[in-house]
Chain A
Amino acid sequence: MALRYIDGQEARISENDGIFVDLEFFGEEEILRGLEPRRLFPISGLDRFVTLLDSEGAEKAIVRDISRLMPESREILEKSLREYYMIPRIKRFIKMNDSFQIWMWTVETDRGEFTFEIRNHVVSIKMLYDGRVLIMDANDNRYEIPDINALDQRSQRMLLPNL
């Protein structure tokens, strides 16, 4: 069975409820309702290849590139993805406390200030070649530093030894 791609103008995505969206292919009668958008590459390619799953988890279509959708469709899809994927971007390190061998980091993110635990810095922190750093806390929540070089000096000094 071939994958069905949406390239841009041939379909409309409209709002359903919360993270769910409806999908309508022009020239087709049926409107697919209550689909859930998911990124196929949540780490490496944020705006490309977004799959639309029905309530059974079966794929209905793949959006090749969000930016090529019609503006309203694009807006709705992006809103849904923003709702679903919560990967706070760390802007600044406030504190790194490692008393009792427990590593607590307090950070400022684009979603506010938060404190979380890092269990094992070997597996929980990953630095990519483009300066992006991905972090997973003890509860499997994700965080991202978009560009380590853009952090302030103090934050860099706190983080660098752990990479």
Chain B
Amino acid sequence: METIENGESTVTPIEVAVAELPAKLLTNLPLPQALEDYLRDNPQPAAPCFALVGDLTLDARYGKSALLFYPDCLVAYDSVKRATPEVYPYGGFKEAKVRRMYGNALFLAEREEAGARATLLRFTYAAAEVAEAAAEYVNQVNADGWHPGLLDAVKASYERQRSFCPKCGRKLHSPDAPCINCEGKSKMLKKLSVYVTPHMVMLFVCLALSVIQTSINLVPPKVTGAMVDGVLTPRGRAPLFGLSFLDFNLNQMVLFFAVSILMQWIIGAIRGYFLRIIGDKMIVRLKKDVYSKAQFLPMSFYDKTSTGSVITRINSDTSVLQGFILRMSQEAVTQLFLMLGLVVIMFVDNPKLATFSLAPIPLVVLGSRFFGRKIAPKYRRIWRRGAAIASLLADTIPGTRVIKAFTNESRTINKFENYCDDWLDEDRAVAKVSIAFVHVVGFFVACGSLVIWAVGGREVQHNLANNINGLTVGELVTFISYASMFYGPVNFFATINDSYQNALASVEKVLDILDAEPEHDFGKGDVPDRLDGRIEFQNVNFSFDRSKKVLTNVNLVIEPGDTVGIVGTTGSGKSTLINLLMRYYDDYDGEIFVDGKNLKEIDMQYYRGQIGYVQQEPLMFRDTVFNNIAYGAGKVHVEQVLSAAEVANAHGFIARLPDAYDTMLGERGTGLSGGERQRVSIARAVLKNPSLLILDEATAAVDSETEHLIQEAIERLIRGRTTLMIAHRLSTLRKANKIIVVDKGEIIEFGSPQELMERKGKYYKLVKIQTMAEEAESQRQAEKF
């Protein structure tokens, strides 16, 4: 180990043209100041190629640390353990590697002596990806010598890290991709306006209707006032609104009253009907949108989100929004109009009394703000409790069989009850605040009218006693009516925050789906004429989350027409290999080529359309057998389905079912045995006539006759197609002309079965074990019969 001491550089001269190095240092985070100072004080013969900055110190605390990579050595700095940077020539390493632990990782340099290693850097998972690229760089330099090309891989991985949206800083899928988060996004409510605009005309009609309705609403108190002051006095008639041509007697007054009430109800009914239609249309469209978006979300979304919470979002959250949109677009405007109308009328009639009755308003407004702040967080909590219940349902209702088998009913019920009680507790907390608030507001507004009685009543008494022309009994009654009507809008605006917060919690969840990055179809429209099925994996690495690598450095070529058997223990990465080939996951390192074309550049819909996928546990939809076979095939002729079923050896048993092809299957295909379901799923693939076939053989044992039927069906299916099969039975493997042996995410053997048998490796062992097992089985069978 060479050490820099007191600014004396012992870095070996580097024979690299400086021009080949990036002008600006490639780094994942800003360099620690101490290291920059060091670089300034110790000028090096060449600039560093790139830097890896850690966010932890070697003693696992948050802090500054970094590695500077030169063509032939690296400089390590750690604010705790290596405050003076140290130089490590690559020559001293046997291998550089990143060791991922739990929540943190180490950059290690293995020495030549066995077991000796230097720990150079510690960092959180945030830097793990670039660190791996850096380790690979060091190993490449040691293996082949330094050349500028080595930096490309490093640069690519750094760019992946740095492909952030300039506006929001969110990690983008590829460096130049548009940020789905920022695109056209300003406010949540603006997003929802898409659902309102198509109904603008109708909404305006409704609005106009409600304005008329509200205006009519303002009439009755005036009528009451006129009755008290004129009609019910010896004069027997009174002018309405002070207009002489509306000088009515009792009968006319009652008739006028009746007409206005009738108008109110008619308009109300029409408006209610329209609003309901508009609301339903909006909600249906929103539901459709969320559902169709959910179809295009990548698998990684579903890996992390429970089905129950997705269902809640599509179903109930959208309904909350419907209520809210209508409330905002209609009632808010109407109530505002009513409130303004009341204020104007009251002030015109009697400014003094108006001031008294409006006095509690500031209190209400202040209270409303205080209340909003208190209640907002609680709605989020309620939502989470609701989602937990939904998740539990999605989990347990389909799992009824298992629950019954383990007689776990009471425990399941208990859990559900606990979840419900949790929800109840949260809802009770909200109810306390929101109900209390509504009634406090009501109380204050009622107090307003008490003040009017007291103040106005005294004035009326005074006027009557002294025979002064001023506030009359009728005017006071009118005024009191208006004041009590005022309670409506005030209450509405006081609680609007409540429903706004409630809706916002739902908007957030719905937008979470609407805004989530969909699967990227980079090659949309790029449809090749045909798919031959040449598959090539080049240096493919993959991990679901950053904590564990599932596939490491996968390289393989499959020629068109090959039948490839994939073998390996469970968890070895077989299914992941298939998942990548199906393009369920995009964020792998390295490249996958199909017919020489990058997989990501082929139209996704077309590509998946060319793949026949026979699953291990085939999923049956709640539909007829016929539709289950025809699933995904578009329009097909009945006879095509029949012959597909025949090829799959399924026709026989289907014909024997009482309802034959019209048999309804339940979820998960209840009503069919495992072997039958497999054959239906094979028939599905036959009908699709794919160029590329992926077969995940079921592990479940079936009787030998069924196995024979399935085997036969598979043989017919794979004829003439590139086939990848995860195989468990030797009989299936015998059909393969190439075998891939996967172990711990790596391909350890790849070649024809003969080659692998001769190599006497893992495949050889596997075949030996299987043969023994099969012999024992056939012996047993022979004894039975």
Q: Is the CB of B773 closer than 8 A to any CB of chain A? A: no
Cα A85 to Cα B547 in complex, Å, equals 12
A162 and B380: CB pair below 8 A? yes
A163 and B119: CB pair below 8 A? no
B304 and A113: CB pair below 8 A? no
Q: How far is the CB of A11 from chain B (nearest CB, A)?
A: 21
Tell me which residues across on chain B come within 8 A of A88, comparing CB atoms: 62, 103
Cα A88 to Cα B104 in complex, Å, equals 11
Q: How far is the CB of A43 from chain B (nearest CB, A)?
A: 11
Tell me which residues across on chain A come within 8 A of B547, comparing CB atoms: 140
- Binary interface encoding of chain A residues 49-66 relative to chain B, with 1 for a CB under 8 A from any of its CBs, else 0: 000000001000000000
Tell me which residues across on chain A come within 8 A of B306, comparing CB atoms: 123
Contact among A42, A111, A161 for B62, CB-based, below 8 A: A111
Q: Is the CB of B392 closer than 8 A to any CB of chain A? A: no
Q: Which residue of A lies closest to B545 (CB)?
A: A140
Q: Is the CB of A141 closer than 8 A to any CB of chain B? A: yes
Q: How far is the CB of B303 from chain A (nearest CB, A)?
A: 10
Given that A42-B102, A123-B305 are known contacts, is A111 also in contact with B126, CB under 8 Å in the complex? no
Tell me which residues across on chain B come within 8 A of A139, comparing CB atoms: 124-126, 128, 546
Q: Is the CB of A109 closer than 8 A to any CB of chain B? A: yes
B positions within 8 Å CB-CB of A: 55-56, 60-63, 101-104, 106, 115, 117, 119, 124-126, 128, 167-171, 181-182, 185, 304-306, 309, 376-378, 380-381, 384, 387, 509, 512, 545-547, 744
B102 and A102: CB pair below 8 A? no
Tell me which residues across on chain B come within 8 A of A100, comparing CB atoms: 167-170, 181-182
Tell me which residues across on chain A come within 8 A of B744, comparing CB atoms: 57
B102 and A142: CB pair below 8 A? yes
B101 and A17: CB pair below 8 A? no
Q: Is the CB of A84 closer than 8 A to any CB of chain B? A: yes
Tell me which residues across on chain B come within 8 A of A109, comparing CB atoms: 62
Cα A111 to Cα B60 in complex, Å, equals 7
Contact among A112, A116, A122 for B61, CB-based, below 8 A: A112
Cα A114 to Cα B309 in complex, Å, equals 30
Given that A85-B103, A86-B102 are known contacts, is A123 also in contact with B304, CB under 8 Å in the complex? yes
Given that A122-B384, A139-B124, A160-B377 are known contacts, is A114 also in contact with B102, CB under 8 Å in the complex? no
Cα A18 to Cα B119 in complex, Å, equals 9
Tell me which residues across on chain A come within 8 A of B102, comparing CB atoms: 42, 84-87, 142
Cα A141 to Cα B104 in complex, Å, equals 7
Tell me which residues across on chain A come within 8 A of B128, comparing CB atoms: 139
B101 and A84: CB pair below 8 A? yes
Contact among A34, A83, A87, A116 for B115, CB-based, below 8 A: A34
Which of A42, A101, A122, A123 is the most central at the interface, judged by chain B CB atoms within 10 Å of its CB?
Answer: A122
Cα A100 to Cα B106 in complex, Å, equals 33
B62 and A112: CB pair below 8 A? yes
Cα A160 to Cα B381 in complex, Å, equals 8
Cα A116 to Cα B125 in complex, Å, equals 11
A161 and B546: CB pair below 8 A? no
Q: Identify which of residues 9-29 in chain A touch chain B, using a CB-to-CB cut-off of 8 Å.
A: 17-19
13 contacts between A and B (CB under 8 A): A17-B117, A87-B102, A100-B168, A102-B181, A112-B61, A122-B384, A122-B387, A139-B128, A141-B125, A141-B126, A142-B103, A161-B380, A162-B380
Q: How far is the CB of A135 from chain B (nearest CB, A)?
A: 11
Q: Identify which of residues 77-98 in chain A touch chain B, using a CB-to-CB cut-off of 8 Å.
A: 82-88
Cα A71 to Cα B169 in complex, Å, equals 49
A86 and B377: CB pair below 8 A? no
Q: How far is the CB of A125 from chain B (nearest CB, A)?
A: 9
Contact among A87, A102, A120, A162 for B103, CB-based, below 8 A: A87
Q: Which residue of A lies closest to B744 (CB)?
A: A57
Tell me which residues across on chain B come within 8 A of A82, comparing CB atoms: 60
- Interface of chain A, helix or strand or loop or mixed? mixed
Tell me which residues across on chain A come within 8 A of B119, comparing CB atoms: 18
Q: Which residue of A lies closest to B313 (CB)?
A: A122
Q: How far is the CB of A95 from chain B (nearest CB, A)?
A: 15
Cα A85 to Cα B115 in complex, Å, equals 22
A17 and B115: CB pair below 8 A? yes
B181 and A86: CB pair below 8 A? no
Q: Which residue of A lies closest to B422 (CB)?
A: A129
Tell me which residues across on chain B come within 8 A of A162, comparing CB atoms: 377, 380
Tell me which residues across on chain B come within 8 A of A122, comparing CB atoms: 305, 309, 384, 387, 509, 512
A102 and B170: CB pair below 8 A? yes
Q: How far is the CB of A37 from chain B (nearest CB, A)?
A: 11
Tell me which residues across on chain A come within 8 A of B55, comparing CB atoms: 114
Q: Which residue of A lies closest to B59 (CB)?
A: A111
Q: How far is the CB of A57 from chain B (nearest CB, A)?
A: 8
11 A-B pairs besides A122-B305, A122-B309 with CB distance below 8 A are A18-B117, A18-B119, A42-B102, A88-B62, A100-B167, A100-B169, A100-B181, A139-B125, A140-B546, A142-B103, A163-B384
Contact among B101, B117, B185 for A85, CB-based, below 8 A: B101
Q: How far is the CB of B246 from chain A (nearest CB, A)?
A: 56
Tell me which residues across on chain B come within 8 A of A163, comparing CB atoms: 381, 384
Cα A100 to Cα B182 in complex, Å, equals 8
Tell me which residues across on chain B come within 8 A of A111, comparing CB atoms: 56, 60-62
Cα A83 to Cα B380 in complex, Å, equals 37
Q: Which residue of A lies closest to B170 (CB)?
A: A102
Q: Identify which of residues 116-163 in chain A touch chain B, using a CB-to-CB cut-off of 8 Å.
A: 116, 120, 122-123, 138-142, 160-163
Tell me which residues across on chain B come within 8 A of A140, comparing CB atoms: 125, 545-547
Q: How far is the CB of B660 from chain A (nearest CB, A)?
A: 45
Which of B60, B376, B378 is the most central at the interface, judged by chain A CB atoms within 10 Å of its CB?
Answer: B60
B103 and A141: CB pair below 8 A? yes
Cα A141 to Cα B100 in complex, Å, equals 11
Cα A142 to Cα B305 in complex, Å, equals 18
Q: Which residue of A lies closest to B129 (CB)?
A: A139
Tell me which residues across on chain A come within 8 A of B545, comparing CB atoms: 140
Q: Which residue of B lies closest to A142 (CB)?
A: B103
A113 and B168: CB pair below 8 A? no
Cα A112 to Cα B72 in complex, Å, equals 34
Tell me which residues across on chain A come within 8 A of B126, comparing CB atoms: 116, 139, 141
Tell me which residues across on chain B come within 8 A of A42, comparing CB atoms: 102
Tell me which residues across on chain B come within 8 A of A112, comparing CB atoms: 61-63
A114 and B62: CB pair below 8 A? yes
Tell me which residues across on chain A come within 8 A of B380, comparing CB atoms: 161-162
Cα A112 to Cα B381 in complex, Å, equals 29
Contact among B103, B117, B181, B304 for A101, CB-based, below 8 A: B181
